[in-house]
Amino acid sequence: MNTLPQSMQPIVTPPPKEPNMSTSFRFNRMEFAGSLGDLGTLLPLAIGMIMVNGMSTTGVLYSIGFFYLLAGFYFRVPVPVQPMKAIGAYAVATGMVASQVAASVGLVSLFLFIIGITGTINFIGALIPKPVIRGVQLSTGLLLMTQGVKMILGTSFQQLAAQSTEPNLTIQAIGPLPIGICLGVLGLTITLFLLKNKKYPAAIVVISLGVLTGLIWGTHGGFDRIAMGIYLPKLLPLGFPKIPDLTVALLVLVLPQLPMTVGNAIIANTDLSKEYFADESKKVTYKSTTLSMALANGLSFLLGGIPLCHGAGGLAAHYSFGARTGGSNIIIGTLFLALALFLGPHALTLINLLPMSILGVLLIFAGCQLGLSILDMFARKDMFIVLTIVSVTLTTNLAWGFLVGVILGHLFKSDRFSI
């Protein structure tokens, strides 16, 4: 029994009998709005790895753009593209060199290709009970919402490092209130009013508000150096990683990331796609999702990009703001490719027009949408698993939460354990 009121029920478009290009792809305001929904997750870590770790701006933008396009054309439903969070967060926090991050991209691609092409991921997926998937989704949702609140309050890692509530704005407060809180409250209010509005989609209005704020009050650093042209990607701009880089990347970056990738980017993401799009997401399987990320990271490795993945949180973000077809992927992918092709390294100047607090608004609604996936959990044992995963995740990380959840899920299959 679904406890959501009718007004909050997810809208699922009935699948056409014979899907074709005209019916399975739409390019309208809602698809455009939905395509922007995950920028709050994508941009901060991507910018962090460019600024702190020295990754190629052009390579990062090309990698993201190609990944969005390929996933959209193949899966034909909205498919998120995100940085791998464990790798990205640790690399930025410790200031790792670009060659080590690049090594992690290559190693992740190799691992995903092996478990995908051999079908091992299907075996792994069969071992994961549904309450574990819901626990991962709720944990990810809460992490997104928490990060969104931090970005509005000016306490995220990037803002603390810059010692500024809004590092790219010249104005930091309106009266006694920090500018981030003012923009965040305004953005949240607009989104609440317009979330289901098809004439004025929430994401477009909120992003436009952010860009306008950046144009009026932005520092505009680097605007005088912007040079439009044709910027083509370079092959292996960082060179081929050496053995020491590969060793550090494997032990410090890749191994902590793998449980999160399997749990959230593959299993939870695939499950959520089926829940949102039913038969239309028939191509979204454990194997295809795994191989999609393997291919994307292989391409990102060659172009000097960052480690990329899918993710349940990103899918919830796209869906929450209106994406219903692969057209949303085509829209945002084309936008990233245009930035890469015509602005190259200068594209970062335009991206920095968006205030952090506006990205935080997107994260809050994405996290809320994802967290609501637990509404089909009714058994006490199932909810115990979900809440345990959340508690472990919030005190350690999602990888440990996922592993603990898997153990509990199999223990609770026995009648000897009860809650």
Buried b (16+ CB within 10 A) or exposed e, 276-310: bbeebbbebbbbbbbbbbbbbbbbbbbbbbbbbbb
pLDDT of residue 8: 41
pLDDT under 50: residue ranges of the chain: 1-23
* φ, ψ for residue 312, nearest 5 deg: -60, -35
C-alpha angle 353-51-216 in degrees, rounded to nearest 5? 15
pLDDT of residue 294: 98
Buried b (16+ CB within 10 A) or exposed e, 178-191: bbbbbbbebbbebb
pLDDT digits (tens, 9 = 90+) for 338-358: 999 999 999 999 999 999 999
Task: Using DSSP bridges, classify how beta strands 82-83 and 308-309 pair: parallel, antiparallel or unpaired.
Answer: antiparallel
Q: Which amino acid is at 274?
A: K
Q: Which of 34, 13, 57 is nearest to 320 (CA)?
A: 34
DSSP-assigned beta bridge partners for residue 308: 83
pLDDT digits (tens, 9 = 90+) for 302-334: 999 999 999 999 999 999 999 999 999 999 999
CA distances from 145 to 94, 138, 277, 362 (A): 24, 10, 24, 9
pLDDT of residue 225: 86
Task: Work out the number of other CB atoms within 10 angstroms of the CB of residue 66.
Answer: 23
Buried b (16+ CB within 10 A) or exposed e, 326-351: bbbbbbbbebbbebbbebbbbbbbeb
DSSP 223: G
pLDDT of residue 11: 43
In terms of phi and psi (left: phi > 0; alpha: psi -120 to 50; beta: otherwise), the region of 16 is beta
Q: Which long-range contacts (CB under 8 A, 24 or more apart) does 240-244 make?
A: 241/99, 241/100, 241/102, 241/103, 241/106, 242/99
Q: Which amino acid is at 371?
A: G
Cβ contacts of 10 within 8 Å, gap of 6 or more: 275, 276, 319
Reading the block at residue 71, the tokens are 């996933």
* φ, ψ for residue 278, nearest 5 deg: 50, -125
Residue 26: its H or E element: none
pLDDT of residue 18: 38
DSSP 304: T
Enumerate the domain spans of the chain.
22-378
Q: Calculate helix-pair angle for 356-371, 179-194, nearest 10 degrees.
A: 40
Reading the block at residue 46, the tokens are 């991507």
pLDDT of residue 19: 40
| Contact (CB, 8 A) for 401 and 256 | no
| Contact (CB, 8 A) for 134 and 374 | yes
DSSP 169: B
> Within 13 A of 23's CA, how many CA atoms are on the CB side?
9
pLDDT digits (tens, 9 = 90+) for 250-307: 998 998 899 889 999 999 999 999 999 999 999 999 999 999 999 999 999 999 999 9
